[in-house]
Structure 1
């Protein structure tokens, strides 16, 4: 067991088990774990990355083929349409076949180093696949939290519109009896119009979030449940960076790419070295009884109508001059290796910055939650007091409208802060390399293991050993219903 699994494994399993047990009896409810599991099975970005990794696996077999025997055969049949006028013995018809076996013995290390480079790139591809998983999961978490946030905002705005409609009706009634002025009624009408506009904007945002959820998960969001607490979050940014430097898949992939580039240099250096191979050839020719023979007097005579030959040996190729191509290829490979070194440092810098930024955003969002929670409580109390004071004439309609707007703003900011805190926390886990499928303990059967395909193809020799025609693994969303801004009736009004 690796350090990163010790770091989060038990906590993740415990949290998800509790979440699953608590929500097991809720019909139609969808959990974050369920949404992530759907994306894991059928998100096209992820299934496409798996296909790309399978293509990378084949590079090992392709490189190995350079060092394996090669057998070629050829057959021909020719019919002489017009014989040469100076040739009296040319056959009318000829059938021939030949075969050649070539076995590489030494290629300057190009094959060996090419295979090593391909194997290392397979390892880099597996790290990239891990990074793709974390990226897709981060987007799913953000989409999941967006739907929850925007549903709450729509609910708040609907309640605000309803309250302002009641206020407007009350203002009109009081205006009719001379208790309020036309200005008070106009203020109520203005705020109601603005509130309806805000509601329409909030509904559009909710529809966008739901459609984005479908694009990532493959099915519409249905009664999304509150997400579980995130496990394994670090106590300090220094701890987060230490874990990220050890476990972040982008860093691991960049290291493997740099290592593979070093073997590419060795492959290029094999260009001016000698090449040694063994060969065997065989040929068969049949003149089909059309080969004419003549004796010394020029009289026709019988002769062999079949010709056979075979040869075997070794061939040594010693390049003397190739126009400077080998040196250019070596220099080019060395430059690519230098680029890989710099990119490794660049990736490391980016991961450090990403980890520290995610930690800071997470902490800031947690503090924002506390502040906005107090703001909501204070705004609710203030609204209640303003309404009471208005009833005795010490507050105006404008005071009520302002208090209602402040309450709405505080609630919106609170649910946004909660969304931001959760997304930032998950992004922090992703930067640390702890937001992948094996960290989330999916209850969907065996996880996709890229090693299985590699073990299946790495030793294949047969030229006709094809796989079946591929079929899409991701689900289409063309049949999903167009989303609306309807909010479940049971959605709590309190943030």
Structure 2
């Protein structure tokens, strides 16, 4: 039974900040991606194409009716013809009803059904992958915005420090070395700011790529609930729920049915057949004068029977096809194990990254508190001559570094936590509380096409549902999110 690990994840996002009614939430970003992301929409279309394989396979088991009609106008009649028919039309209708095909159709349908199920699981995996990228992009923007603000504040502070250092140098309280150190640290801070701004712009563009719109006033994401407390628990859930494992299992089943279908090539087939023929000379037959012949204008005939086919020798083709299908079955089984290994690695790595990031957050918070106190003391001691300017600058830089570490760790913890949920198979649209969103039903198209045996049925003309971003303005480093507490 699936656990609704994120059932209440986004219900209160709009209340995260006072007065944030117009702010963008993680819930809103995920809804936009769910509706307009081209990767996800393309995966849905591919799943529709996979659904049709069931109908294609079933068609071989249904009766087929074919009508052939030929009209001839004899424009050049050779001499010496006893009877001349200037024009004629021959019509033939043939009905064939398959009775036995050695299990070819039955196993083909089963293989197609298994691949439909595998495709549905792959669609789940695509949803989780897209959502993981949206979550990462969302948190990247918030992280980089915080780092930009820290670097801007640092540049402003160092600029003030440099002016104060110059003033003290003018009165002889400090040396030229102190001024040079302050200038160097300010130049480095300005370079760090430019790098941070470039990183923020790149994060905004990644956000646009995933969501389809530019980020505007992003609110801090809500906590991730119900994360596992033990890595073994996470692995156990992933083995049962991960869509990649489920898809690999279904593909292995389909490969097994392919082997049975290949074996049908060596078995006999039986079909009932019916033929109807009509010849029409339009009453225009020409006979020699004085010859009494009654040539009817139309002639009709019909026959029913059975067609039995027994393959005796096919040049080794059936055996080769069977061996080929068996090899592909083996490959599918190995891929199933490989997928399981990959998922286990993802779960364990994401769990370790998540727990490590939580520890880094605690350490960074402690470091910020200690560095803040240290900076205050170093500044006070510098005022009475017990500390040098470089010591003040170093204390300020250590505090900035600790705050950057905290912003990065918060981002890493959230992304790793969501990645862990995705690897466990619990981060798709059906697991999230995306209010007002009508979930895509992958089974709906399957149910519609599975029983469709009409040759002239169709679907709506192909259309694009994803949004283009070519008209989105190039991003800058202006703030778009509320500062974190």
Give TM class, smaller chain: over 0.9
Residue 443 of structure 2 is matched in structure 1 by 451
SS of match in other structure, 1:393: coil
Matches within 5 A, 1:395-474: 395-474=387-466
Cα distance in 2 for partners of 1:179, 1:489 equals 43
SS of 1:14 mapped into structure 2: coil
Larger CA deviation: 427-436 vs 394-403: 394-403
In structure 1, the residue matched to 2:287 is 293
For 2:142 and 2:343, locate their aligned partners in 1 and report how far apart those are by CA, in whole Å.
29
1 CA distance for matches of 2:473 and 2:22? 16
Q: How does 1:123-142 map to 2 (within 5 A)?
A: 123-142=117-136
Q: CA deviation at 1:29?
A: 0.8
Contact 2:218 2:481 in 1 (8 A): no
Contact 2:279–2:300 (CA<8 Å) still a contact in 1? yes
Quick one: which of 227, 233, 242 aligns to 1:233? 227
| Residue of 10, 16, 22 corresponding to 1:16 | 10
Q: Per-residue displacement from partner, 1:241-270 (whole Å, max 9, x unpaired)?
A: 110011011111111000111111110000
Matched, 1:484 2:483: no
Question: What's the counterpart of residue 311 of structure 1?
Answer: 303
Correspondence for 2:215 among 203, 215, 221: 221
Give the equivalent residue in structure 2 for 1:383.
Answer: 375
- Which runs of structure 2 are paired with 1:169-318 in the superposition (5 Å)? 169-294=163-288, 299=291, 301-318=293-310
CA shift at 1:308, angstroms? 1.5
Superposition deviation, residue 489 in structure 1: 8.7
1:324 alignment partner in structure 2: 316
The answer on whether the counterparts of 2:16 and 2:219 sit within 8 Å (CA) in structure 1 is no
Partner of 2:467: 475
Q: Which residue of 2 aligns with 1:83?
A: 77
SS of the equivalent of 1:13 reads coil
- Secondary structure of 2:8's counterpart equals helix
Deviations 1:303-360 (A, max 9, x none): 2222212111110011111101011101110110011110000001111111111111
Q: Distance in 2 between matches of 1:489 and 1:353?
A: 34
User: Counterpart of 1:69?
Assistant: 63
- Give the aligned length: 485
Matched residue, 2:3: 4
Task: Mark the runs of 5 or more structure 1 residues left unpaired by the alignment.
Answer: none
TM-score (norm 2): 0.97
For the structure 1 residues 459 and 489, does the alpha-carbon distance in structure 2 shift closer, same or farther, using more than 3 Å as the test? closer
Tell me the distance in 1 between the aligned counterparts of 2:436 and 2:467. 17
* SS of 2:296 mapped into structure 1: coil
Cα separation, partners in 2 of 1:194 and 1:490, compared to 1, 3 Å: same
Distance in 2 separating the partners of 1:310 and 1:120:
42
Worse-matched range after superposition: 64-73 or 437-446: 437-446
Instruction: Output the CA distance in 1 between the equivalents of 2:51 and 2:320.
Output: 29
Contact between 1:37 and 1:444, CA under 8 Å: does it hold in 2?
A: no
How far apart are the structure 2 equivalents of 1:44 and 1:441?
22
Q: Answer whether contact 1:98 1:284 (CA < 8 A) is retained.
A: yes
Distance 2:237 2:258 in 1: 31
What stretches of structure 2 of length at least 5 have no aligned partner? none
Q: Closer, same or farther in 2 for the Cα pair 1:110/1:341, shift >3 Å?
A: same
Q: Distance in 1 between matches of 2:240 and 2:54?
A: 27
Find the counterpart in structure 1 of residue 31 from structure 2: 37
Secondary structure at 1:16 match in 2? coil
User: Residue 345 of structure 2 is aligned with which of 344, 353, 358?
Assistant: 353
Matches within 5 A, 1:331-350: 331-350=323-342
1:51 corresponds to 2:45: yes
User: TM-score, normalising length from structure 1?
Assistant: 0.95
Q: Residue 366 of structure 1: which of 337, 358, 371 is its match?
A: 358
| Matched-pair contact (CA < 8 Å) for 1:101–1:279 | yes
> Could you tell me how far 1:235 is from its partner in structure 2?
1.1
Q: Secondary structure at the match of 1:222?
A: coil
Shift of 1:204: 0.5
3-state SS in 1 of match to 2:173: coil
Structure 1: distance between partners of 2:481 and 2:71: 83
- In structure 2, C-alpha distance between the alignment counterparts of 1:488 and 1:84, rounded to whole Å: 90
Q: How far apart in 1 are the matches of 2:112 and 2:262?
A: 14
Distance in 2 (CA, whole Å) between partners of 1:391 and 1:311 is 114
Does the CA contact (< 8 Å) of 2:8 and 2:432 recur in 1? no
Separation in structure 1 between the aligned mates of residue 230 and residue 131 of structure 2, nearest angstrom: 23
Is the contact between residue 219 and residue 481 of structure 2 (CA under 8 Å) also seen in structure 1?
no
SS at match of 1:75: strand
Structure 2 matches for 1:144-159, cutoff 5 A? 144-159=138-153
Distance of 1:233 and 1:344 partners within structure 2: 26
